[in-house]
Amino acid sequence: MGWQIEVDNDKCEGCEECVGACPSSVLEMKDGHAYPADPDECLGCETCVETCPEGAITVSEV
DSSP assignment of the chain: --EEEEE-TTT-----HHHHH-TT--EEEETTEEEES-GGG--S--HHHHH-TT--EEEEE-
Into which CATH architecture does domain 3-54 fall? 2-Layer Sandwich (3.30)
The pLDDT tens digits of the residues spanning 5-31 come to 999 999 999 999 999 999 999 999 999
What is the distance between the terminal CA atoms of the chain, rounded to a whole angstrom?
Answer: 6
- In tens, the pLDDT along 26-36 reads 999 999 999 99
Give the closest residue to 8 by CA, choosing from 45, 61, 38, 48. 48
